[in-house]
Amino acid sequence: MKNIVLLGSTGSIGTQTLDVIEKNPGLGRICALAARGSQLDLFAEQIRKYRPSIAVVYEEEAYWKLKQRLSDVPTRLLWGMQGLLEAVSMEEAELVVTALVGMIGLEPTVRAIQCGKDIALANKETLVCAGELIMKLARQKRVAMLPVDSEHGAIFQCLDQKPAAAVSSIILTASGGPFRGKKQEDLRAITREEALRHPNWVMGQKITIDSATLFNKGLEMIEARWLFDKRPEQIQVVVHPQSIVHSMVEFTDGSILAQMGTPDMRLPIEAAIAYPSRGGQVAPPLELIHCPPLTFEAVDEETFPAVALARHAMKRGGLFPAVLNAANEKAVAEFLQLRIGFLDIYRRVEEALSAFERCTVRRDAYTLEDVLDVVSWVESFWKAGDSH
């Protein structure tokens, strides 16, 4: 029974995490919940149901609304970044599930590691933007970094403490998203609704758009590079439309281990929370005789340049992955607001990377403050571009 802090409890990963714990009550107890105020009704329901010691909402206005609504609940309510930092620092907390979307998850993850808490990581930005710093700190504090992503969770299970020298490459699988097989000309008129229609997974809006552009896979490449301590050239991506093989590891003798399962995020969530044990059944089992044929394809990097852009940022290192992430985050937000087109997401990210390449203030050695400054740099770059 682990004492769990859940950051991002109203999102897709957060609600499924609570479902996993409800189906396996012996896995853990919720001691703190945190969320943004966009789904205040759901968050209030969660607080009433799980009665955490602390609940944090990011926005001050939402905090005051919750205060009135939950006046009869003994949970201590907090708000803002300071509230998140206090929640992950709780003495009784043992595992922090970081399911907040975006750069907001970075500082709480760092604080949790500093406090010696194990991390179940569902926030890609943490390792994409500051992987070198985060993993160095985790090693110093002897903190477990348990991946919640289906792909990284699959790799984690395949490696299972095997010698690092025995690993030849890591092979991330991608569904190909809703536009697999299309060419760039087909993508010019793609609508917001079409991009949000994923064929296999039910996810939040941002990650669904990332899956459509394949930036999700690009970010996962960078995350895998740090999480599993591999060189950029050891990270591969293949398209696997059925989403049954969640990722693979190739060893130096040529053999490949794959982790398979139904496309249900509750499986990798449970694997992370229960580690090193296994929980009970939380999703329908994979019935092999009823599986469709399993196919694998190369990524069409000309139509979907996200993987190539991420590979470039990963090889360049330093703050370049943080620029890639922040520019993509901004571009996706603007696409969802109908301010730019689908293909403009790639264009704006590439422009940001090129501009940063020319920037005299760039640094290969960086601090956490430098990573956070990248967001401001991208905002300034964006405004400069909009003014022309």
CA distance 119 to 259: 22
Tell whether residue 318 is among the known ligand binding residues.
no
Strand partners, 92: none
Tell whether residue 211 is among the known ligand binding residues.
yes
Tell whether residue 220 is among the known ligand binding residues.
yes
CA distance 23 to 9: 16
Strand partners, 237: 172
Compute the chain's Rg from CA coordinates: 20
Tell whether residue 330 is among the known ligand binding residues.
no
Tell whether residue 206 is among the known ligand binding residues.
no
Residue 164: helix, strand or coil by DSSP? helix
Tell whether residue 10 is among the known ligand binding residues.
yes
Phi-psi region of 176 (alpha: psi -120 to 50; beta: other; left: phi over 0): left
Tell whether residue 125 is among the known ligand binding residues.
yes
Tell whether residue 124 is among the known ligand binding residues.
yes
Tell whether residue 217 is among the known ligand binding residues.
yes
Tell whether residue 38 is among the known ligand binding residues.
no
Residue 279 identity (one-letter amino acid): G
Tell whether residue 168 is among the known ligand binding residues.
no
Tell whether residue 329 is among the known ligand binding residues.
no
43 sits in which H/E element: helix 40-50
CA distance 139 to 48: 37
Tell whether residue 218 is among the known ligand binding residues.
no
335 sits in which H/E element: helix 320-336
Task: Specify binding-site residues for Mn(2+).
Answer: 149, 151, 220
Task: Specify binding-site residues for 1-deoxy-D-xylulose 5-phosphate.
Answer: 124, 150-151, 175, 198, 211, 216-217, 220
Task: Specify binding-site residues for NADPH.
Answer: 10-13, 123, 125, 204
Task: Specify binding-site residues.
Answer: 10-13, 123-125, 149-151, 175, 198, 204, 211, 216-217, 220
